[in-house]
Structures are given as C-alpha cells and as structure tokens.
Chain A
C-alpha cells in the first residue's frame, strides 16, 4: 500500500488572468499543467509540483503562484507534517531519503549575528569611487625566502599562486550534476571576471580545456576523468576529501544523469550510477595525503597550487593543521549548509558544523601554530551575499567559494530536487530539451553581473571600515562584533560583543 501524501505546495491559478497560452504546460518537465480542450481551460496537478517556479516566471500574465498547502495533520510540536510525511515515504519505499542543495533546516546563521564596523572621525572612511580600493589577491603559500644568486639577484622562491580579481571563486560543481550549459556559463564568467570555476569531480569536458587558465580541476575519491591532460589544463588542482553537504560520504551521480557526453568526460560507463568512495582509498593519514599532494605537484612540474578541500566537521582545526603541513597550498573548507546535487537527507541535515565557526577555529589554530602563511584559506557553504563575504574575510578567509548563489544567478529557485534530473531551469539536468533552457550567453552575463555587484559592495564596505585592500581585511576580527551570541559562541568566533570597544 502506498499511502497518499498531500503535496506540500499547491499551484494556484488566477482564472481571471489565465489566457490558456499553455506556456506553463510546455515548460514543466514534471507535467503539472495540462490543457482541457473540452473546457478550454488549464488544469494543474499539485502532487507533481516541485515548486521550482519555472511556470510562475514564464507565465506572461502572471496568473500563477505557488503557495504552501494549509492541509495539516493534527498539529504536534514534536511531529511536524514533514517529519510524519518522511516516515510515510520511507514506509512506502524502504529507501534512504534523498535531498539536494544545502541544509534548509532552521539552524542559527552566524553570519546574521555578526555586525561590521565603520570608521568615524578619527580614522576616515575611504570612498571607493574616488580612491584606489584593491580587491585583487593571490592564493597560495606565502612562505618565500629571500635567496640570492651569485650575482646578488633575487631568486624567486615563491610557490605558485592563483591570482584573483575578486575574492570569489565558483565552487566545485561537476559536469553531470549540472549541465553542459551551466558549466559553459561558469567557465566563461570566470574568464571574464578573472576568477576561477571548479570542475568538481566530474572531469573536464573537452570543449572547456580552452578555459584552463580559469579552471580548478578536482581530484576526488572516484578519480573520475583524471589524467595528465586534465591536470595540465588547470590553473590549480583540488583534492576533494569532503563536501559540506555530506561529510563522510562520497558523491553519487544517478545513472539517469550519465549521458554519453558525461560518460566520456568522466571516463565511466553510460547510464550506471557513479558512486564515489567515502574515503580516498590511498589516504588514511596526513602522510598519505602528503603523498597525493606531492604526486600531483610532481605530475604538473610544481607549477600549480594544490588545494585540499574538507567538510567543516568537529575536529577541522586539527585536520587543517595537518593539511597545512602536508604541502598543500590552499585549504578549502565547506560548511554544513553547502549545496549538493544529491545527498542522503539525514546526512545533509545533521552532519557537519557551520562554516563561520569552522573558519574561525581553523584560522586561529593555524595562527597559533605559526603556519597560517603556509596556506591560503577558501571557505564555502552558503556565502549568500557580499556581507557574508566581508564577514568571512574578516574572520580569516582569503577568499570564498560560491555555489548556490551562482546557481541562483543562473535561474535556480532552490526547489531542491536536483537529484531527480528534471531541472526545469536547465541547470541540474542532462536531458537535452531541458539543458537548452539555459543559454550560456544569458547565463554567463548574469554570473558576471552577480560577482561584479558583490565586488562593488565589498569595496563599499571595506571603504566604510577605512580599509583599502582585501589583504588588510583578512583576519581583521576587530571589524566584527557579535549580536545575540553566547559567551561560548563569541569565544569560538574570536570576536567581541556589539558595544565592546577595541
């Protein structure tokens, strides 16, 4: 018996505005809308709706809206409708619940409990429209030594660096989990912005090798698509040890999303689920990690920085210390709100810790141990705005990964059903008729707009603080004050409470 479950959201059509043009019907991959020729009216079936808002956006007369259903079980403070429905779904199917995108639960958002400083009287603010305001930065080891050759000329001992025009990178999203057109949009935007996008663990499509100087390639536990040309093409190599959305488990790409093209790029069979192992089977210690870091450096002639990406977990400060000593150039930390194309719901919603706390602890630990300059730190896992970006940098990050925000710019409406592969926005799908809905000419421009806007806002906020370069903002925690935080939270974040002076 499959128990009927009332849909969480309902499609509401304003009959007085609907002109029955059937655009909603043609644009819904979930087949929610249909035309009744007998009555000449449109119908909709809310049980099929994933609330992606595609129909709402394309309706020329704005006749559609989607509302939360007011159908409810007997109200229960312990057993919410959702909790009950999840039990029903599992009793129906016997399966693990799957979800996509970041953790949507109402945990505290520490970004929203930090306030930024501004200059008044004694230290004047800077006007970024009239005075220089530097957002360019470099990622990599900063442990160069002053060495001279026999003629007294300086020898360059600086490790390879990544140059960014803004402290923002597009986070790892694989070809397979997202579409060809989404990747093309990210790659072209990264090139125009002078920043980087990340292939994720899905390999690099042959068409995108030309964007190599703005590409970070990932080496994950499945080693999909990894070979010499792949490593050579990139500006940097990222070893993915973990992902914020699902710490402790590997990636899972459903077979339905493995088209011929994805199969060729990943170097795996077509149509069969691609399941990455939870660990790297050759890494069980920092020493093992060091071997992989140096294998990759050796393979690429020590010309590219190596990033090690971990999920934010309880012991991440100690782990980061190990990574800094493993020879990696950059540490990427992904918070528990980070997105994914598919993850077990229980893991996504309950494993890992907030990126704000992890970042503060990692930065502090590395500074205490005197090895902060051994690595740069990139953080991700729900950087939602330039304000989050400023706060992250002030907490100690060098730069931020944005994934969800980038997808939103491409049209994503966070319906969180990427794992079904029927993305109506042409992002998280491989179905050709859906993929073509994302025209990269439009998509890349929107990404460029987003990052450009954030960079302007970053400059405005830095100017307000009287700071004229991101390098001077980094780790400047005196620019932050907590609000509504406990003493423990303040001490973990390493910031003072609002109202406390320098």
Chain B
C-alpha cells in the first residue's frame, strides 16, 4: 500500500506541510480565506530539534495499536489505511494516548479525535503535504 514517508535528510523544517494540511482539510478553495487569522490544527506536525526536522503524521501501521484500542469501532482499516469515522468516535482519546508517534490528536471542534486520512476525506484527493513539499522530503509511495 502507498504510504506517506518523510525523509528526515531532506526535511527543512519549513512547516509548509502543516499549513497545506490545514488548508486541504478546511474544505475551502482559497488558502487565505481558509487560514488567515486562524490557529491551525494540522494532522501533520513538524518536529524540530536543533538542525533535525521531521514531519510526522499517521504511519498507517499494519497492526495499528490505535485500531486495536478503539472502544467504539471508529478506527478501522480501509484498504490498509487507518481510517477514522468521526460519527462513531466517542472522544475517549485512548487512541491519542496509545499512538507511539503522536499522530492522532483531539479535533479542534472537540469531542472527537482527528488523524491523517491521506486526503481521501477532502477536496484534494491526494496528500496535499506531499504535493506541496518544496524539497521532496515528504513522499507518497509503495515501500516493502
């Protein structure tokens, strides 16, 4: 299955992916309208430590501990992708606690969790962070 991978070697820590993620999930077509004056809640986060930068989002683990720990059946596998159904989510945030990557977070509107759905749940249709990464650090590809 194709997954999003981040090459730490090429990640510049520009944080552009966070804004592109927030824009994609705003369901708007104008970035300025979507993000101006707003606090963003992206599903991808760039972790910075000195000269090291690394964008982190859901790894879509094959044996995902979040799916196993979900008490309401909101998290499931869809063709290998770890998907969340926010209508089923009860907001217990167990998944947030168990995710070893910190890739699931409470949704800004509250009451439910949010996570990367590879942009299948918005207008862009393909991962927007990958499309706009200025150094090809974030890639969407098949790996063994």
Contact indicator A58/B31 (Cβ below 8 Å): no
Return A246 CB to nearest CB of chain B, in Å: 33
Q: Which of B4-36 contact A (CB under 8 A)?
A: 9-10, 12-16, 18-20, 23, 31-32, 35-36
* Complex interface: chain B residues within 8 A of A18 (CB): 36
B residues in contact with A57, CB < 8 Å: 134
Residue of B nearest to A433 (CB): B51
Whether the pair B16, A58 counts as a contact (CB closer than 8 A) is yes
Given contacts A19-B19, A441-B136, whether A60 and B31 have CB atoms under 8 Å apart is yes
A437 to B16, CA, bound (A): 14
A80 interfacial contact with B, CB 8 Å: no
- CB closest chain-B residue, reference A15: B36
A436, CB-defined interface residue at 8 Å: yes
Residue in chain A with minimal CB distance to B20? A60
With A19-B35, A26-B13, A433-B51: A60-B135 Cβ-Cβ less than 8 Å: no
Place the interface of chain A in its size category: 20 to 34
CA distance A60 to B13 in the complex (A): 15
Q: How far is the CB of B129 from chain A (nearest CB, A)?
A: 12
B132 CB–A CB distance under 8 Å: yes
Interface flag for A78 (CB, 8 Å): no
Chain A neighbourhood of B32, CB < 8 A: 16-17, 19, 61
**Among the interface residues A22, A61, A433, A441, which one has the most CB atoms of the partner chain B within 10 A?**
A61
With beta carbons under 8 angstroms apart, the residue of B18, B132, B136 that contacts A439 is B136
B35: chain A residues at CB < 8 Å are 19, 21, 61
Number of A-B contacts (CB under 8 A): 56
Contact yes or no, A60 B10, CB < 8 A: no
A154 within 8 A of B: no
Assembly CA distance A436 to B134 (angstroms): 12
Judge if A432 is at the interface, Cβ distance under 8 Å. yes
A62 to chain B, nearest CB (A): 9
Q: Is residue B137 within 8 Å, beta carbon to beta carbon, of the partner chain?
A: yes
Residues B31 and A437 in contact, CB atoms below 8 Å apart: no
Rounded to whole angstroms, the CA-CA distance of A62 and B90 in the bound complex is: 40
Contact size class for B?
Answer: 20 to 34
Q: Determine if B15 and A22 form an interchain contact, defined as CB atoms under 8 angstroms apart.
A: yes
**B14, A26: Cβ atoms under 8 Å?**
yes
CA distance A432 to B12 in the complex (A): 11
**Are B136 and A442 in contact, CB atoms less than 8 angstroms apart?**
yes
CB of A222 to closest CB in B, whole Å: 31
Binary flags per residue of B104-135, CB closer than 8 Å to A gives 1, else 0: 00000000000000000000000000001011
Nearest residue (CB) in B for A441 is B136
- Most chain-A Cβ atoms within 10 A of its Cβ — which of B18, B37, B134, B135? B134
Tell me the A431-447 residues at the B interface (CB within 8 Å). Answer: 432-433, 436-437, 439, 441-442
Q: B36 to chain A: which residues have CB within 8 Å?
A: 17-19
In the assembled complex, A300 has its CB within 8 A of some CB on chain B? no
Tell whether, in the assembled complex, residue A61 and residue B31 are in contact, meaning their CB atoms are under 8 Å apart: yes
A289-333 interface bits toward B, Cβ cutoff 8 Å, 1 = contact, 0 = none:
000000000000000000000000000000000000000000000
* A388 and B16 alpha carbons, distance in the complex (Å): 38
Task: Point out the residue from A16, A23, A432, A436 that lies within 8 Å of B15, measured CB to CB.
Answer: A23
A27 interface residue (CB < 8 Å to B): yes
A26 to B134, CA, bound (A): 13
- Which residues of B are found within 8 Å of A22, using beta-carbon distances? 15
Q: How far is the CB of A28 from chain B (nearest CB, A)?
A: 11
Q: How far is the CB of A339 from chain B (nearest CB, A)?
A: 24
| Beta-carbon contact of B14 and A58 below 8 Å | yes
Interchain CA distance A16-B37 in the complex, whole Å? 10
Closest to A181 in B: B10
Complex Cα distance A131/B106, Å? 63
Which partner residue on chain A sits nearest B35 by CB separation? A19
Contacts of B20 in A (CB 8 A): 60
A60 touches B136 (CB 8 A): no
Could you tell me if B16 and A436 are in contact, using CB atoms closer than 8 angstroms? no
**Which residues of B lie under 8 Å from residue A26 when comparing CB positions?**
12-15
Q: Which residues of A contact B19 (CB under 8 A)?
A: 19, 21, 23, 60
Give the residues in chain A near B135, CB-CB below 8 Å.
436-437, 439, 442
For the complex, give the distance between the alpha carbons of A436 and B16 in Å. Answer: 16
* Residues 441-474 of A contacting B (Cβ, < 8 Å): 441-442
Q: In the assembly, what is the distance between CA of A23 and CA of B37, in Å?
A: 16
Q: Give 1 or 0 for each of B32-55: 1 = CB within 8 Å of chain A CB.
A: 100111000000000000010000
Are A21 and B16 also in contact (CB < 8 A) when A58-B134, A433-B51, A437-B135 are? yes
Most buried by B among A16, A21, A58: A21
Q: How would residues 6 to 33 of chain A score, 1 for a CB under 8 Å from any chain B CB and 0 otherwise?
A: 0000000000111101110011000000
B132 proximity list for chain A (CB < 8 A): 60
Instruction: Give 17 CB contacts A-B under 8 Å.
Output: A17-B32, A18-B36, A21-B19, A23-B15, A23-B16, A26-B13, A27-B12, A60-B20, A60-B23, A60-B31, A61-B32, A436-B12, A437-B12, A439-B135, A439-B136, A439-B137, A442-B136
Given A19-B19, A23-B15, A26-B14, 18 other A-B contacts at CB below 8 A?
A17-B36, A19-B36, A19-B37, A21-B19, A22-B15, A26-B12, A27-B12, A57-B134, A60-B16, A60-B19, A60-B132, A61-B35, A437-B12, A437-B135, A439-B10, A439-B137, A441-B136, A442-B135
Chain A to chain B: the 10 pairs with minimum beta-carbon distance, closest first = A19-B35, A21-B19, A439-B10, A439-B135, A19-B36, A23-B14, A26-B14, A439-B136, A23-B16, A17-B32
